[in-house]
Amino acid sequence: MKKRNRQAIIRRLVNEHDISNQHELMELLKAEKVETTQATISRDIRELNIVKRHRPNGKSSYHIFNRELSEMKKNTDKERLMNAVNDTGVSISQIEFMNLLNVLPGNGPSIGVLIDRLKDELKDVVACVSGDDTILILSYTREEAERVNKYFQNLLYEPQH
Nearest CA-CA partner of 107 in 137, 122, 85: 85
**CATH class of the domain defined by 3-68:** mainly alpha
Instruction: Give span(s): CATH 3.30.1360.40, the chain.
Output: 75-157
How far is it, in rounded angstroms, from Cα 116 to Cα 119?
Answer: 5
CATH of the structural domain 75-157, one choice from 3.30.230.10, 3.40.50.720, 3.30.70.20, 3.30.1360.40 = 3.30.1360.40
Containing 93, the helix (H) or strand (E) segment is: strand 89-95
Per residue of the chain (161 residues), give pLDDT as tens.
Answer: 888 899 999 999 998 998 999 999 999 999 999 999 999 999 999 888 888 887 667 788 888 876 555 555 567 889 889 989 998 999 999 999 999 999 999 999 999 999 999 988 999 999 999 999 999 999 999 999 999 999 999 998 765 54
